[in-house]
Structure 1
Amino acid sequence: MKPFAYQRAGDPRAAVAAVSARPDAAYLGGGTNLVDHLKLGVAAPGLLVDVSRLPLDRVEELPDGTLRAGAAVRNSDLAAHPLVRRRYPVLAQALLSGASGQLRNTATTGGNLLQRTRCVYFRDVTTPCNKREPGTGCPALSGVNRQHAVLGASELCVAAHPSDLAVALAALDATVVVLGTEGERRVPLTGFHRLPGDRPERDTVLEHGELITAVELPPLPWAARSAYRKVRDRASFAFALVSVAAAVDLAGDGTVRDVRIALGGVAHKPWRALRAEDALRGAGPTEEAALAAADAELADARPLAGNAFKVPMVRRTLPAVLRELAGPEGRAERASEERA
């Protein structure tokens, strides 16, 4: 193991100053992703700044109804919070579908957004990888690519983003609050993660030293009718092959007044399905409308040899989630109320 220095931050601004001052410094929160990378040799920081004990572990409702979750809130605590379960069931379901109970008790809100791809080539330092070492190549293009992207990929990288939480947040129009040396800024979740383009080594728009301090969820009353469905190889402890996060606002006659949809497992970032949303607004909650929406979103899909199944999988999963939410009261909403 490569030796590294360790420092515990006393407050967020001190943490930002410490990491910004050293190009080889990194933040340590729950550590469920970074520690793996230290063991594998994927990451080798010269300084770890521990932010796990900063006062960023509260979930609170702001005066305008916004729900603010600190970056250090544990995944299990966020999933169990009464306001999350009642107002944003899609978020609670996404969190509970990820990892194991032990990991959810350690993993944090901010860290979840920053977890890196589980591409086998990225995690194997004996193989080339443009994300790990720019310019070395992408073996996944012609190699093992069953888990990889079918939307928004580039010739340099076809890795898929692993987070469940981020997919739900993308559907809810969440905002990421970031602290840097120049002060605080807010980044829409849908613009926080990057597509690979010609810089696949950059997962997010964060500059070095910037620290996530919170995630904010806007008041969206009809998000109580929302759900998250994750299709995976086994029932637990597996990353999504395809996932769908959706919230639907239905008129009295069943017409879709508004809708939010995000897809997971299909792109380098949580994929906001804007084309599908546009296709559904004003439509009835029919199977034909749902399939047309899925087809609109998948029009630019570019599957690889090993993951072509993801296209029909999205076509089946998106309508299934919409059927679930189009019931008289919304099954996800009823389930959330019963758990609360």
Structure 2
Amino acid sequence: MTLTEREKTILRVIIADYIVGAKPVASKAIVNKHGLKVSPATIRNDMAYLEQEGYITHPHTSAGSIPTDKAYRYYVESISEDVELSLAEQHLVFQLFQQAQEEMEEWVKVAAALLSRLVRNMAVVTSPKATRHYFKHLDIVSIQDFLALLILVLYETKITQKTLSLNRALPQSELTKLANKFNALYAGIDSSQILASKAELSPEEEQISMSLAEMMAAEDKRAYGKPYLEGLRLLLSQPELFNNPKLPAIVGVLESEDWLEKISYRTLGHGEMRIIIGEENPEAALQDLSLIIGQYGIPDKISGLLGVVGPKRMDYGRSISWLNYLTTLLSNKVTQYV
């Protein structure tokens, strides 16, 4: 059923107070603090209706009320525009970002550190990943007589490595000649084109060629680049996580490299932001938390994710605004880099 304006106001007050204080909100506190021109009894009746409709709940019989996932979803969808960020804050972040080294991985790390500090929660930023990877340069380094390291540089920022067991011992000079041949032969093509190539290759060259195609195909299959986390300690210091029996499981999931792929079960569109609240998250260990994810990069060419992980009572407005701002900065950096 549709809420009345007074019920909406009371619900927003409960959510706002709980976001700030992390304590159940009582009807008396609503009247005293916010000066609503109705009696405490009316407030209690409205709160009883909100509880009946699933927007709030009582953690304890004698306590006040706290928002449910349904309430946070209502709250998030009622945020009509970004929270205004001060020009001083934006300028400081812009300057810190510009001072980062030119390597893309450095920008990603700086973005994660800044985002975590700005929203006082955990931040995650993935390195940018191309929609399709193309061969740029290969180095082959001798490790032992029958072992070599393939160092493959792909267009759009990616470097990948693989140790290869050779069928016969090859000196470094011979490995360098092989690398130079592949650099001339495969420049600018993708894994499918490598596999379709009609070039005449020796057994050793065929082995290396297959390895290159496999390395590139593996990168193509990845949903996202490497994730960088910052602020796990800030997240774990939140009151909701004190003595939380899920804590080991939460840390275990967040420290794994594939958790974003499991949660982001559909590809984000450019400029789209997804907010996953509580039990909306398919990962059971994270259902006491909320996650806000945005995408940066160049549409249909190269992209990465950035997000905020925090308690369900996180400051959504501020988090969304900083995500939008850093999305723009990272997208500009990617455009300059590629």
TM-score range, shorter chain: under 0.3
Greater Rg by CA: 2
TM-score (norm 2): 0.22
TM-score (norm 1): 0.22
Q: Relative to total residues, which structure has the larger helix share, 1 or 2?
A: 2
